[in-house]
Amino acid sequence: MEMVLDWRSVGSLIATVMVFRTAMRDFVPPEAEQWLRRFLARVAAAFRAPTATILIYEADGAAVTGVANDLYDAGQLYLGARCLAAAPAVRLYKPRGGSSTVASLPDAHTAHDTWKGVTVKWTSTARPVDVYRGGQGPSGGGVHRSLELQFVRQHRDFVHDSYIPHVMDEATRVRLTSRERRLYTNGEEYQRLWTSHAFSHPSTFDTLAVDPALREEIRADLLRFASRREHYARVGRAWKRGYLLHGPPGTGKTSLVAAIANLLMFDVYDLELTTVATNSHLRRLLVSTTPKSVVVVEDIDCSLDLSDRRKKGGGSIVDQDDDDNNAAIGREESISLSGVLNFVDGLWSSCVGERLIIFTTNHPERLDPALVRPGRMDRKIELGYCSPAALRVLAKNYLGVGEDTDDEAVNGLMAQAEGLLAADDDVRITPADIGEVFMGCDGAGASAALRKLVGELRRRRDHAPAPAVDALAAAETME
């Protein structure tokens, strides 16, 4: 027996459904209707696998005044990076100075994600709440947002142990590539410890005018440090590393600091010690820095008296902050050496997270050994005068001249300049000086710039000071 469904039958079925729906609204009480809806939902759920839900609130506590929940921000970043490409609606924003837009899940919307064969459902919710201000009673305007993470109950352990850490790691990666990095500096105000500006220094490891072997060694050391969080925790050390950069002025210490920050995508805190009033103020500055940051003290030997205590008759080297130590270091300085030592390697130094501490100086021999011992300054990097390898980097940066150039005149001039740098110790010139020579010939061409550089190198060679004559030998010669 065949059942034929024509248009009249379809119309009758639709009319019956509409009449039944109208009767339900007119004759069934709202409480009974809600009970019936819940009953039908339970019946439908009985045929599905049991589910579990994790609630992730935007803030831990009251809306607006609660503490921000990092997991909420991580979930939104993760959804924007993985799950919203085909979504019917997304929320977009672009961090100031960021390189790209970031998508997030709008309120009252859902998205699905599948990772390692397990499918989860994300739902963004928002509800209005009352905000209490200054004991004046509740006032409107607050919104309490949350994310609901729903999954099959049998995958609870997988979601807790694997999926949520995966979300956090992926969000960290997205945040690093999209955020605006900042350059912070401290001032004399206690209430405002740091002021910041956008950090946009163009220096990279590819543009550094240093020995290629040293450059790659530093790069490898930094990347190894950034990836060894578990190693530092296992050996019981704070996740930090100290660098001492030393060398004559103009050898690229500041450029190296900027290249390090750009390589690791860290913020930079430029600490001016002369404006720090006390050791406690120095600790406040330290704990107010953020993870993934570079703390820099430039020309530390000029900031305060950090010279070798043994050379001043101070006796043995100690790290304790006692009265004798403070008196011996410098009675007129605002902070003491022991305060700086505790800043670098004390208990408070482990309260922030992954961090690089970099000191620069032109005179490393003036620093107290306690400041530069292993564990405080893990690497001591000397940046010297320009070498032939560094000259090739500078020529490529400023003149666009590479090793594969076909211009014979340029190649000849480069060979002369490299020969002068390599053959004569009296020809000492910093990368900054060479950069000034090249900048002065901007627009004149590579040959003119290199010709001027060769002339400058020869002038320095011809006017190099004569070696000092030993006084005793001179006296014997006169006799």
CATH at residue 326: 3.40.50.300
Cα gap 449→440, rounded to integer Å: 8
Average pLDDT, the chain: 80
Cα gap 102→91, rounded to integer Å: 8
My answer on whether 160 and 193 are in the same domain is no
> How confident is the model at residue 126, as a pLDDT?
87
Residue that is last in its domain, among 109, 143, 178 = 178
> What CA–CA distances, in Å, run from 192 to 140, 198, 312, 408?
31, 18, 37, 58
Q: Is 31 among the domain residues? A: no
> How confident is the model at residue 375, as a pLDDT?
77
My answer on whether 100 and 160 are in the same domain is yes
Residue 105 token pair: 């899940």
My answer on whether 168 and 201 are in the same domain is no
Inter-axis angle of helices 164-178 and 70-82, nearest 10: 80
Q: Is 468 among the domain residues? A: no
Region 329-353: mean pLDDT is: 68
Helix then strand then coil, % of the chain, to nearest 5: 45, 20, 35
My answer on whether 222 and 344 are in the same domain is yes
Question: For the stretch 431-459, what's the b/e string if a residue is b when 16 or more beta carbons lie within 10 angstroms of its beta carbon?
Answer: bbbbbebbeebeeeebbebbbbbbebbee
> How confident is the model at residue 86, as a pLDDT?
72
Q: Is 74 among the domain residues? A: yes
Cα gap 271→158, rounded to integer Å: 44
Q: Is 479 among the domain residues? A: no
My answer on whether 86 and 223 are in the same domain is no
My answer on whether 270 and 335 are in the same domain is yes
For residue 5, what pLDDT band results from cuts at 50, 70 and 90? low
Domain with 418 in it: 388-462
Residue that is last in its domain, among 178, 201, 236 = 178
My answer on whether 81 and 174 are in the same domain is yes
Q: Is 245 among the domain residues? A: yes
Residue that is last in its domain, among 125, 158, 178 = 178
For residue 472, what pLDDT band results from cuts at 50, 70 and 90? very low
Lowest mean pLDDT across 150-164, 167-181, 229-243: 167-181
Would the CA dihedral through 323, 325, 327, 332 be positive or negative? negative
Q: Largest Cα–Cα distance in the chain? A: 139
> How confident is the model at residue 243, as a pLDDT?
95
My answer on whether 164 and 192 are in the same domain is no
Q: Which amino acid is at 1?
A: M
Cα gap 384→303, rounded to integer Å: 22
For residue 157, what pLDDT band results from cuts at 50, 70 and 90? very high
My answer on whether 361 and 414 are in the same domain is no
My answer on whether 212 and 347 are in the same domain is yes
My answer on whether 199 and 305 are in the same domain is yes
Highest-scoring range by mean pLDDT, 14-18, 95-99, 401-405: 401-405
Domains in the chain, number: 3
Would the CA dihedral through 345, 348, 350, 355 be positive or negative? negative
Question: Who has greater pLDDT, 220 or 310?
Answer: 220
Q: Say if CB 182 and CB 194 are below 8 A apart.
A: no
Cα gap 257→245, rounded to integer Å: 9
Q: Is 472 among the domain residues? A: no
Q: Is 59 among the domain residues? A: yes
My answer on whether 429 and 378 are in the same domain is no
